[in-house]
Structure 1
């Protein structure tokens, strides 16, 4: 399926033709398989990534292999990576991983800057995208810090269930551990407790939500 950068920018119809042409001609499109790491090897990492199909996981990874998810992006969402190329050695750099069969578009800063200089709608869009990225990170940090692990696991399962519109969630214990910044052993212990309570059922690479109301109560949703 052929995509256009016009799908990603709400103010597209308000932009001048020369600016629309510049953005379309310079947009970079990439496709990824499930759980593939997203890397733009040939371009500066100083722009905005748009999700055209599938989803994107934005996370942090330590040198010891531990991971913690900052947030997930779904079709139609965007994420600013404008700070990556300007990061200091001590700065934390987020990693990107496809949640499923995913197609992304990428616009570099120089192309957006020219348009934003002339078009206030584009400048506002860039500002709002950066603000949403920062707010999503703050929201998740707040949730993880001020709620116990069982709350976080419950929310993770409910979000995946709602996204896929099914009570049977195909996710491994290791994937949940990576998302929440803990270990597989700890996650397995908590899932066993939820299973013993009759709230979930577990299978190979799959978790079935048996009592959604109880899981929502645990998650505080």
Structure 2
């Protein structure tokens, strides 16, 4: 299963053996904190099952989810100590019951030092995930709450390939940098306009064109 890691195919047989022996399998319960700022550098996290959320904290202590790591994806920003200056006051939690594999930071550093392809792909992934952080912060700074919510609803339905998806109001608030109470009020406004319908822990997008109009 380690072959799913982006740089595995570029490893020598000896390096593949090192990675296989070093990977640590860790089950995670829903809402379990996998890594938090201030912990020792964990290394690369690969999601075998489930979904993780990478969140940062505002100065007021508000949690903002800036990107998620799905099954078959990995998080490299959890190895900030290896990446020289790419560091955030952040933490990673399991959004659902998950199974992850961790490549410890010392092993990752060893592979990056010995194999230029590993270093290249690790930094490429770090840039992509760092861009996700910047994009979220730009939305919070420059977009109104209504537009941030509309953007989330459109992107989430596209990502799930379904107009209906599971998400609590608390989770949505973390995704768009708001509070649960404000999100609930705005979702109810959207529901009153026939744009969405709300269920227990679910949202269904009924009128994506209306959400597009919000973004105009």
- Tell me the TM-score normalised to structure 2 length: 0.84
Structure 2: gaps (5+ residues): none
Aligned-pair Cα RMSD in Å = 2.8
**Paired position in structure 2 for 1:131:** 127
1:61-97 Cα distance to aligned partner (Å, 9 max, x none): 469763111112222322222236999xxx8521111
Contact between 1:46 and 1:108, CA under 8 Å: does it hold in 2? yes
Larger CA deviation: 146-155 vs 209-218: 209-218
**Paired position in structure 2 for 1:29:** 25
Q: Distance in 2 between matches of 1:153 and 1:194?
A: 10
CA displacement at 1:18 relative to structure 2 = 0.9
**Paired position in structure 2 for 1:6:** 3
Q: Distance in 2 between matches of 1:29 and 1:217?
A: 45
1:107-166 Cα distance to aligned partner (Å, 9 max, x none): 122212222222211111221122122111111111221111111112222233223332
Q: Distance in 2 between matches of 1:151 and 1:204?
A: 23
Q: Could you tell me which of 181, 191, 198 is aligned with 1:202?
A: 198
Contact between 1:46 and 1:109, CA under 8 Å: does it hold in 2? yes
Larger CA deviation: 25-34 vs 61-70: 61-70
- Summarize the alignment of residues 112-127 of structure 1 with structure 2, pairs less than 5 Å apart: 112-127=108-123
Aligned length: 212
From the superposition, tell whether residues 166 and 86 of structure 1 become closer, same or farther in structure 2 (CA, over 3 Å). closer
Matched, 1:173 2:158: no
CA displacement at 1:199 relative to structure 2 = 0.4
Larger CA deviation: 130-139 vs 28-37: 28-37
- Summarize the alignment of residues 46-195 of structure 1 with structure 2, pairs less than 5 Å apart: 46-61=42-57, 66-80=62-76, 81-83=78-80, 92-195=88-191
Contact between 1:50 and 1:106, CA under 8 Å: does it hold in 2? yes
Contact between 1:157 and 1:169, CA under 8 Å: does it hold in 2? no
Q: Which runs of 4+ in 1 moved over 6 A?
A: 84-87
Contact between 2:10 and 2:118, CA under 8 Å: does it hold in 1? no
Q: Distance in 2 between matches of 1:22 and 1:206?
A: 43
Structure 1: gaps (5+ residues): none
Q: Distance in 2 between matches of 1:101 and 1:95?
A: 17
